[in-house]
Amino acid sequence: MERNVEISMLCQIYGKLLTKKQYEFINDYYNNDLSLSEIAENENITRQAVRDIIKKGEKKLFEYEKKLEFMKRMLNQENIIKNILKEISKIETKDSDKQVNKVLEHVKKELNCLV
């Protein structure tokens, strides 16, 4: 996954755990596509100060993910759901009772992983 996308996702998940400035700057930089200079100008601080705050915030986001793994679990669940949907679509294309039972057993197994 691209680092910018990863940080944006982590900010959505853990952003409220950051300081107000860290959250605002990371959100502006990654989600609102503002440059370091634009953020610095808006806040009347140096570009370097903005960069430092963003880097500290990024470090915290990755620490939270390492400990809590919410994003990892969320992405894993999305993949499981995609697999379930693929299996369900097989039911629509095949009429065999044995095939339907096999597909349903697989769907049950996948759903149990989510619980």
Q: What is the pLDDT of residues 52-63, one digit of tens each?
A: 999 999 999 999
Whether residue 115 has pLDDT greater than 90: no
pLDDT at 89 over 70: yes
Q: What domain range includes position 100?
A: 74-114
- Predicted confidence band at 103 (pLDDT cuts at 50, 70, 90)? confident
- Answer with the residue of higher pLDDT: 86 or 91: 86
4-32 in b/e burial notation, b at 16+ Cβ within 10 A?
A: eebbbbbbeebbeebeebbbbbbbbbbee
Looking at the structure, tell me whether residues 64 and 25 fall in a common domain.
Answer: yes
Pair (39, 93) in one structural domain: no
Do 95 and 50 reside in the same domain of the chain?
A: no
User: Which pLDDT score is estimated for 96?
Assistant: 65
The verdict on pTM exceeding 0.75 is yes
